[in-house]
Amino acid sequence: MSLTDIRYDAVMGRWEPDARGRLLQAAFELYVERGFEETTVAEIAAKARLTERTFFRHFTDKREVLFAGASDLQALLVNLVLNAPAALTPMATVRAAFIEAAAFFGEQPEFARQRQRIILSSTELQERELIKLATLASAMGGALRERGVKEPGASLAAEAGVTAFRIAFDRWANGPTQRELAGVMDDVFIQLRSITSET
């Protein structure tokens, strides 16, 4: 018996609770079972015992469901940058932030991997992921600027960090399960330094 089989009981309020959560779960399950493009918003809504219109009140579009955690991750990383020891260089700040944030995914590695598989299956979703990462880089660049880093250094450090993160994440998501994300990221950041310093 899965969670969606829990039936609604007349004792409760006017509506079955947690509409957003039900939509999240219904969408994720359907994206896994049938694929993203083959899944219709009407199907997601039906599975969550809601209407299509309600889906669009909770998520601006069909893709956003998969990026519900993005703003939390961004807030976390921005805070890590803002609160990093003042002595750190921009690049070290960004790197430390990402390595600490690795726990964000480490908690549910299976979920993270499955989500990544879905995203890889659809160009539309990859586009959305890229713009989320670009927004993230922009926010981290802003945080660096608040620490007094000038342009274009702030943007470059943030963008380079996001790039390293992305490559590390891909390797981790598709590589052997036992490897820790933080460790992969560490390697990639080291490689980034060595590759960019050779002129």
Partner DNA sequence: GCACCTGATGTCGCTCACTGACATCAGGTA
Partner DNA sequence: TACCTGATGTCAGTGAGCGACATCAGGTGC
Does 90 engage in binding with its own copies (CB under 8 A)? yes
Does residue 53 interact with DNA by CB under 7 A? yes
Is 61 near DNA (CB under 7 A)? Answer: yes
Q: Select from 152, 174, 175, 183 the one that contacts its own copies (CB under 8 A).
A: 152
What count of Cα atoms within 13 Å lies in the side-chain half-sphere of residue 194?
Answer: 5
Place of tokens 């330094």: 193
Which residue of 42, 75, 103, 130 would you call a contact of its own copies, by CB under 8 A?
A: 130
Among 4, 71, 174, 191, interactor with its own copies by CB under 8 A? 191
62 in contact with DNA (CB under 7 A): yes
Report how far residue 53's alpha carbon sits from residue 44's, in angstroms, rounded to the nearest whole number: 11
Decide if residue 71 touches its own copies (CB under 8 A): no
115 interacts with, out of its own copies, DNA, none, CB within 5 to 8 A per kind: none
Kindly state whether residue 7 participates in binding DNA, applying the rule CB under 7 A: no
User: Does residue 110 sit in helix, strand or coil?
Assistant: helix
Exactly one of 51, 71, 89, 174 binds its own copies (CB under 8 A); that residue is 89
* Residue 145 CB neighbour total at 10 angstroms: 16
7 C-beta neighbours (distance < 10 Å), count: 6
Stretch that binds DNA, among 33-41, 68-76, 77-85, 138-146 (CB under 7 A): 33-41
Can you read off the two tokens belonging to residue 188? Answer: 């990639």
Instruction: Look at residues 183, 158, 159, 184 and name the one whose alpha carbon lies nearest to residue 171.
Output: 184
Q: Which of 181, 9, 162 is nearest to 78 (CA)?
A: 162
Residues in contact with DNA by the rule CB under 7 A? 13-15, 19, 39-42, 45, 49-54, 56-58, 60-63
